[in-house]
């Protein structure tokens, strides 16, 4: 092999190697990532609806008892 052929194949090898590194770097840069993180603030769940509902049922039951024919109110 002559010196011009060996330098040409070395130059070609360097270009192929550089293209391979660029292609691998480009493909790894485009890979999707998924990150899970805990919330920084606590989660608040309001249960006011249930409490109000229980109070309303109790009041309605007391009114039914008060207004029943057995109560003697009427």
Could you tell me if residue 39 is inside a domain? no
60, two tokens = 């309605």
Q: Is residue 49 part of a domain?
A: yes
**Residue 25 resides in a domain:** yes
Q: Is the pLDDT of residue 15 over 80?
A: yes
Domain that holds residue 10: 3-32+45-71
pTM for the full predicted model: 0.32
Residues 30 and 36: beta-carbon distance below 8 Å: no
Show the tokens assigned to 37. Answer: 């993180």
Beta carbons within 8 Å of 71's beta carbon, 6+ residues apart: 65
The residue with greater pLDDT, 70 or 16, is 16
Q: Is residue 17 part of a domain?
A: yes
56 is a domain residue: yes
H or E element that contains 54: helix 48-66
pLDDT the model gives residue 17: 86
Count: domains in the chain: 1
Taking residues 9-31, what's their average pLDDT? 77
Over residues 38-58, the mean pLDDT reads 77
Q: How far apart are alpha carbons 29 and 9 in whole angstroms?
A: 30
Residue 37 lies in a domain: no
């Amino acid at each position: 092999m002559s010196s011009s052929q060996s330098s040409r194949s070395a130059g070609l090898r360097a270009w192929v190697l550089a293209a391979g590194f660029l292609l691998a770097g480009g493909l790894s840069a485009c890979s999707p990532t998924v990150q899970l993180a805990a919330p920084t603030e606590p989660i608040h769940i309001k249960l006011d609806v249930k409490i109000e509902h229980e109070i309303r049922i109790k009041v309605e039951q007391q009114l039914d008892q008060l207004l029943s024919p057995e109560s003697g109110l009427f």
